[in-house]
Structure 1
Amino acid sequence: MNIQASTEPLVTIITPTFNRSHLIIQTVESILNQTYPRIEYIIVDDGSTDNTSQVLAPYANRITLVQQTNQGEAQAVNHGFVRAHGSIVGVVNSDDFIAPNLVECVVERLTAMPELVAIYPDWQAVDLESNPFGPVYRRPYNYKTLLYGVCLPGPGTFFRTKLIEQVGGRNPTYRFVGDWEFWLRIGLHGNMERIPSCLAYFRVHRQSLSSQIDCGAASERTTVIDELFARTDIPEALRPMELQVRAATYTRAAADCLPAKPLESRAYFRRAFTYSPKYMVQHPRALFSMLVTQLPAQIASSIFAYWRMIKHRAARRSGGKTE
């Protein structure tokens, strides 16, 4: 791929992919049609067995295609990081796509505000046919919010490439919460900022990792927090928050297990209450959920399944949600 010299910063975009030949074209087109001119586009094919290579062949002179044996998304992203030449980098998954002016907005903000380490937009959820069904408005950045389990940086997030040398790449140990763990490390090095506009599109479908959240994610969450508070370099101001953060983490872990595994959820809720009864009392929904898990497993599962259905319907009617 030819990238002309310029005074404007080079931006690297990495797309990890595995058997997404039916979706990746929309991703590629959204990146190659950006209004910002200086983009290095790296696609890392993580051992696809479909016709991904053939689908990407027409773009050969506009992308860098890297092929590897199947090692998982985190390793594919890390492979892209190693090859990145840009001073700004972002990851756009092969089932997502971005608005034409996203990169231009990112460069403008990061250039004007050198103290920022990353920037993230609001995003729109879409279905398999790219039909939108609800914008997601992110909260303004606060490391404490991130620490409590709200992964503020989502689709369309970009950060300064130099941070990879400081914090390392994605941790392949984590299948479900690797993004959150990565941003927790990045966030220790400076502030991020939200772009209050929907400039990225997140596809929700059965094959997406976000639709497979379960008790595996629950155990990963608690391990992330264990490792974070075991670090010697976290700010001392965060230390007094540890018990409440652990309570919040175990509460989210309990939610990961619902509605399918109320008994496992019950155990996580009990740990959350042990860490901080105050946190549970201050969060009535978490307290209610904990009490429901004390019911027989079949009854508890039915209640949570119904509750989740009502929440999804309400979110669709409201035309968006804040996370």
Structure 2
Amino acid sequence: MTPLLEKECFPPQVSILIRSINRIPLLQQALASVVQQSYARIEILVVAAVPDHPDMPAACGPHPLRLISSDCPRHRCRAANVALDAANGAYLLFLDDDDWLLPGHLEKLAAALTEAPDLLAAYTGVQPIDEDGQPKGGPIDLPFDELRLLAGNLMPLHAVLFRRQVIDLGCRFDENLDLFEDWDFWLQIACHSRFIHVPGVSACYRMHASSGVHAMAPSVGSAYARVYGKWRHLWSEGQIAGIMAQVWNYPELQERITEQQERITEQQERIT
């Protein structure tokens, strides 16, 4: 069989990496959303971040499942790195145990990566959900902007499917971070590749008030300061110039947004 036929018959395996803190009903919902995926070649790794995690079956629907247990608590970043080390797939996606995927999520992201062999990551839109399961605000579905990523996270963790090559390039979760470890991980990948944006929502992101992250004002606070402190000395002159240009262009962009909003309001008034 030729390599081309092998590629056609055997799509790249996707590893779904789940850090679990023993929230079994939520974990079951996350796993069920993986079973609903149309993509065929999936392995599931559940990494216990707490000791005495319940055993898991050897399969979840048609997909093999492995539990990586622990005798002691694992920091969230440590659990993520354990998952990276254990994954077999050519493509990897993290899914926290309280979030879930909508049908077609993996298929469209895998197709985007397959069509762009020189790029390392693809992402799509995610809908924030409150603790009662209701939509909270609009979807997170921004086009890729390298400069904006320097300022803050554009992508929830399970929005992104990435190639396992990022591990060989040294991308790891920084175990010195308590918050924004996913943003830091994307920044590491962005040093090697831009991200492919696949518009359209196909996952849900449960927002918990207890995390404190969502109550933070953008760019303010010690968690932001730690990430900025790590990365700002690595910014190139071009990146700094781009940041300054965006700041100077902000009033013009805001004026355009206001004009568009006024036009939309006028059209709505004509319709009604």
Structure 2 residue corresponding to 1:153, chosen from 152, 155, 161: 155
Task: State the partner residue of 1:257.
Answer: none
Contact between 2:15 and 2:43, CA under 8 Å: does it hold in 1?
yes
Task: State the partner residue of 2:67.
Answer: 65
Letter in structure 2 aligned against 1:118: A
How many angstroms apart in 2 are the aligned matches of 1:221 and 1:171?
14
Q: CA deviation at 1:62?
A: 3.1
Structure 2 residue corresponding to 1:90, chosen from 66, 90, 93: 93
User: Against the structure 1 CA distance between its residues 65 and 152, is the aligned structure 2 distance closer, same or farther, given a 3 Å change threshold?
Assistant: same
Contact between 1:119 and 1:153, CA under 8 Å: does it hold in 2?
no
How many angstroms apart in 2 are the aligned matches of 1:214 and 1:16?
27
Moved more, 104-113 or 66-75: 66-75
Structure 1 residue corresponding to 2:43, chosen from 20, 40, 44: 40
* Secondary structure at 1:40 match in 2: strand
1:189-246 deviation per Cα after TM superposition (whole angstroms, max 9, x unaligned) = 111122211111001233446357599x822322322322334xx544224457x59x
Contact between 1:137 and 1:196, CA under 8 Å: does it hold in 2?
no
Between structures 1 and 2, the one with greater helix share: 1
How many angstroms apart in 2 are the aligned matches of 1:208 and 1:95?
13
Letter in structure 1 aligned against 2:64: R
Letter in structure 2 aligned against 1:226: G
Task: State the partner residue of 2:103.
Answer: 100
Letter in structure 2 aligned against 1:40: E
Task: State the partner residue of 2:230.
Answer: 227
How many angstroms apart in 1 are the aligned matches of 2:198 and 2:136?
20
User: Against the structure 1 CA distance between its residues 188 and 123, is the aligned structure 2 distance closer, same or farther, given a 3 Å change threshold?
Assistant: same
How many angstroms apart in 2 are the aligned matches of 1:129 and 1:226?
36
Contact between 1:122 and 1:135, CA under 8 Å: does it hold in 2?
no
1:60-87 deviation per Cα after TM superposition (whole angstroms, max 9, x unaligned) = 7831110122121111111000011111
Task: State the partner residue of 1:237.
Answer: 238
Letter in structure 2 aligned against 1:64: R
1:119-165 deviation per Cα after TM superposition (whole angstroms, max 9, x unaligned) = 1111112233433344414221011110122x112232111111122
1:185 aligns with 2:197: no
Structure 1 gaps of 5+ residues are 249-277, 286-323
Task: State the partner residue of 2:269.
Answer: none
Matches within 5 A, 1:240-251: 240=241
Task: State the partner residue of 1:252.
Answer: none
Letter in structure 2 aligned against 1:176: L
Moved more, 193-202 or 75-84: 193-202
1:201 aligns with 2:204: yes
User: Against the structure 1 CA distance between its residues 79 and 214, is the aligned structure 2 distance closer, same or farther, given a 3 Å change threshold?
Assistant: farther
Q: Extract structure 1 runs of 4+ deviating beyond 6 A.
A: none
Letter in structure 2 aligned against 1:14: L
Letter in structure 2 aligned against 1:237: G
* Secondary structure at 1:123 match in 2: strand
Task: State the partner residue of 1:136.
Answer: 139
Task: State the partner residue of 2:178.
Answer: 175
TM-score w.r.t. the length of structure 2 is 0.77
Structure 2 gaps of 5+ residues are 1-6, 255-272
Task: State the partner residue of 2:265.
Answer: none
1:18 aligns with 2:21: yes
